[in-house]
Amino acid sequence: MKADTIIKLNNVERFYIMGESTVKALDGVDVKINKGDFAVIVGPSGSGKSTMMNMIGALDLPTKGEIYLDEQNIAHLDESDLAQIRGRKIGFVFQTFNLIPTMTSLENIMLPMIFQGIDKQERIKRAEKILEDVKLTHRKNHLANELSGGERQRVAIGRALANDPDVILADEPTGNLDTKTGAEILKLFVNLNKKGKTIILVTHDLELVKYSKKILKLKDGKIVK
């Protein structure tokens, strides 16, 4: 694998047994994503986008095939090793934000650092810098449910950046936002990409394709050329 390749999927299949039938969520997928790419995964509902995101993000293992993250084959690792890799190398952003409602913006961003053993003062210092980067310093002591949708997504992006990962993986990150707020969030991703972060964005919204450097179109579990 070339040094500039950060993620590679070789003939990845993911099958699910549903009663007497087998659902092929991914069916022989080959993908290469380089460091610094802004990749958009598109396709209709049921095309395999979420399954592919789970494979890339080490949230699930393939039925068959190989998945390389930074030259390490993660396809057969156990859950504790996968969790460590996820924590260090991948930041996740979800459509529903997935913030802890009883925590402040600052505390939500600090949370992933705890699992990496970072001491409290360093966690606070990093989180305050991230809040500054996502333009939410004035909301740092507000609880998640006191924030607007756009502000929650900024906190979610901040949390994804907490451990300075190589890859930001975003699943429908503008799906719950109005058009104007969604455009602001996408600008944030573009700026992160310009700073060297590899961005992988999963969406059914073809409007987002214009932001990408690489388009991966899925249909029936296969990459459509």
Q: Domain of 166: which CATH number? A: 3.40.50.300
> Would 189 be classed as within a structural domain?
yes
Least confident of 1-5, 89-93, 163-167: 1-5
Q: Are strands 214-219 and 198-203 parallel, antiparallel or unpaired?
A: unpaired
Confidence label for 82 from pLDDT (cuts 50, 70 and 90): confident
| Residue 162 to residues 11, 124, 126, Cα–Cα distance (Å) | 32, 11, 7
End-to-end CA distance of the chain: 22
pLDDT of residue 2: 57
Distance CA 109, CA 134 (A): 11
pLDDT, mean of residues 27-51: 92
Does residue 224 register a pLDDT over 80? yes
> Would 184 be classed as within a structural domain?
yes
> Would 181 be classed as within a structural domain?
yes
> 65's torsion region: left (phi>0), alpha (psi -120 to 50) or beta?
left
pLDDT of residue 136: 94
Does residue 111 register a pLDDT over 80? yes
pLDDT, mean of residues 168-184: 89
pLDDT of residue 1: 52
Domain count, the chain: 1
pLDDT of residue 44: 87
pLDDT, mean of residues 4-23: 92
Distance CA 59, CA 128 (A): 28
pLDDT, mean of residues 167-178: 90
pLDDT, mean of residues 154-179: 92
H or E segment to which residue 180 belongs: helix 179-194
Distance of alpha carbon 140 from the chain centroid: 23
**In a 3-state reduction of DSSP, which class is residue 29?**
strand
**122: containing domain:** 5-217
Distance CA 161, CA 147 (A): 19
CB proximity list for 124: less than 8 A, separation 6 or greater: 106, 110
> Would 222 be classed as within a structural domain?
no
Confidence label for 201 from pLDDT (cuts 50, 70 and 90): very high
> Would 12 be classed as within a structural domain?
yes
Distance of alpha carbon 111 from the chain centroid: 17
> Would 33 be classed as within a structural domain?
yes
Does residue 75 register a pLDDT over 80? yes
Q: What is the mean pLDDT of the chain?
A: 91
Measured in degrees and rounded to the nearest 5, phi and psi for residue 159 equal: -60, -40
CB proximity list for 196: less than 8 A, separation 6 or greater: 35, 36
Query: pLDDT tens, 186-199?
Result: 899 999 999 999 99
> Would 224 be classed as within a structural domain?
no
pLDDT of residue 63: 94
> Would 20 be classed as within a structural domain?
yes
Hey, which of 68-72, 114-118, 138-142, 186-190 has the most confident mean pLDDT?
138-142
Does residue 3 register a pLDDT over 90? no
